[in-house]
């Protein structure tokens, strides 16, 4: 919460941070994706299909038009007829959350903002920073080592 308050004050356009890749999950959900898996999947789709290297997926790329039309119908959030990497990223998050709702409804949704492909905000923390800070604070404050 502190990080998001700082972001709103210092980098209003950067977006909120949601970290649910806790290394000690309360529940297990075999097959659920993490944010790093979502990021990797979006990058793989994007680099595979952007055959002309123009930075977007569009009819000029060498891909099956039927497949392209399905992707645009489901993932083109700004309705411009092309798919940018963050639209692919957001679409994978939606699909992951639909999968979780069906297969592990108790596990909860995943929140993965597409901040890794946008201009960085000087001083903003990421989920790894938050984990390391939390881990260090826990080690310091857990004086009786009871976990």
pLDDT digit string, tens, across residues 3-42: 768 777 877 666 666 665 554 445 678 899 988 888 889 9
pTM above 0.85, yes or no: no
Distance between CA 45 and CA 90 in Å, rounded? 12
The whole-number pLDDT of residue 22 equals 53
Distance between CA 94 and CA 143 in Å, rounded? 41
Instruction: For 92, list phi and psi in degrees, rounded to 5.
Output: -65, -40
Residues 6+ apart with CB under 8 A from 33: 41, 92, 96, 110
The whole-number pLDDT of residue 24 equals 46
139 or 118, higher pLDDT: 139
What domains can you pick out in the chain, each with its CATH number?
1-18+113-142 (no CATH), 32-108 (1.10.238.10)
Question: What is the DSSP code string of 76-125?
Answer: -TT-SSSB-HHHHHHHHHHHHHHHHHHH-TTT-------GGGS---TT--
The whole-number pLDDT of residue 101 equals 93
Mean pLDDT of 44-63: 91
**Residues of the chain by 3-state class (helix, strand, coil), percent to 5:** 50, 0, 50
């Amino acid at each position: 919460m502190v990080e998001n308050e700082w972001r709103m004050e210092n980098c209003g356009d950067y977006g909120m941070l949601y970290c649910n890749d806790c290394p000690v999950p309360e529940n297990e959900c075999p097959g659920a994706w993490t944010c790093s898996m979502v990021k990797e999947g979006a990058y793989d789709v994007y680099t595979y299909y952007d055959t002309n290297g123009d930075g977007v997926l569009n009819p000029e790329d060498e891909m099956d038009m039927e497949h392209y039309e399905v992707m645009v119908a489901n993932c083109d959030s700004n309705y411009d007829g092309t798919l940018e990497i963050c639209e692919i990223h957001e679409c994978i998050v939606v699909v992951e959350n639909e999968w979780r709702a069906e297969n592990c409804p108790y596990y909860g949704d995943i929140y993965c903002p597409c901040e890794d492909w946008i201009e960085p905000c000087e001083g903003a923390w990421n989920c790894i920073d938050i984990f390391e800070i939390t881990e260090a604070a826990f080690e310091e404050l857990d004086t009786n080592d009871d976990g």
